[in-house]
Amino acid sequence: MAGDTRDRMIDATVEALRRRGVAGMSFTEVLRDSGAARGAIYHHFPGGKGQLVAEAASRNGRDVRANLAALPADDPLALVESFLALIRPVVECSATGSGCAVAAVTIASGEPAENASLREVAATAFASWTDALAARLRVSGLAPDAATDLATTLLALLEGAQVLCRAEGSVAPFDRMTRTALDLTRTRYAAR
């Protein structure tokens, strides 16, 4: 098939970004994991590493966004609870070294032009996640401003938890954080 190789290369790149970041990742690794040949890189991605990484981060951004948009929105508290339940498996991966691909793309290492382009991709992905979460929070009854603020907070918690859990090699930081988050949200948004 045609686009199959290209697809597998992007998938392998997402995984490589998660584990090693853009500077730490290598074509050797991507080619090994995708089974593609060396020349396939510049055939499918004339822009080289920058283009491959950008497409990988972009795909990951869309995938995650779809998950967030499908969250139940009965009320704010339920949404926070289901958000935390949704991301726990993701954070568990961080405990074994697999972080956020979009966050990884944030770290600059090359020339300003390429960096700006990659940061733009990351910013777009994060914005789409914030928007998806905020939309659900509005549906659940929150005012627009409060929804955006809380959505950003939840996203910061997700990204932060991945960092802490990767360092500690366990989900314990996430679970501690979850207790506080639920405690605070219940106090504030309980439909009592």
Chain residues binding DNA by CB under 7 A are 2, 4-5, 25-29, 36-44, 48-50
Nearer to DNA, 8 or 138 (CB): 8
Residue 27 interacts, among DNA, its own copies, none and using kind-specific CB cut-offs from 5 to 8 Å, with DNA
Binding residues for its own copies restricted to 7-46, rule: CB under 8 A: 19-24
Q: Establish if 152 lies at the interface with its own copies (CB under 8 A).
A: yes
- The minimum distance between CB 166 and DNA, in angstroms, equals 21
Q: Establish if 62 lies at the interface with its own copies (CB under 8 A).
A: no
Q: Establish if 144 lies at the interface with its own copies (CB under 8 A).
A: no
With b meaning 16 or more CB within 10 Å and e meaning fewer, what string describes 110-134? Answer: eeeebbeebeebbeebbebbbebbb
Nearer to its own copies, 7 or 75 (CB): 75
Q: Which of 32, 38, 62, 176 binds its own copies (CB under 8 A)?
A: 176
Q: Are 47 and 121 in contact (CB under 8 A)?
A: no
- The minimum distance between CB 43 and its own copies, in angstroms, equals 26
User: Torsion over CA of 60, 61, 67 and 69, rounded to 10 degrees?
Assistant: -160
Residues that bind its own copies (CB under 8 A): 19-24, 97, 99-100, 102-104, 106-109, 115, 119, 122-123, 125-127, 146, 148-150, 152-153, 155-161, 163-164, 166-169, 173, 176-177, 179-181, 183-185, 187-188
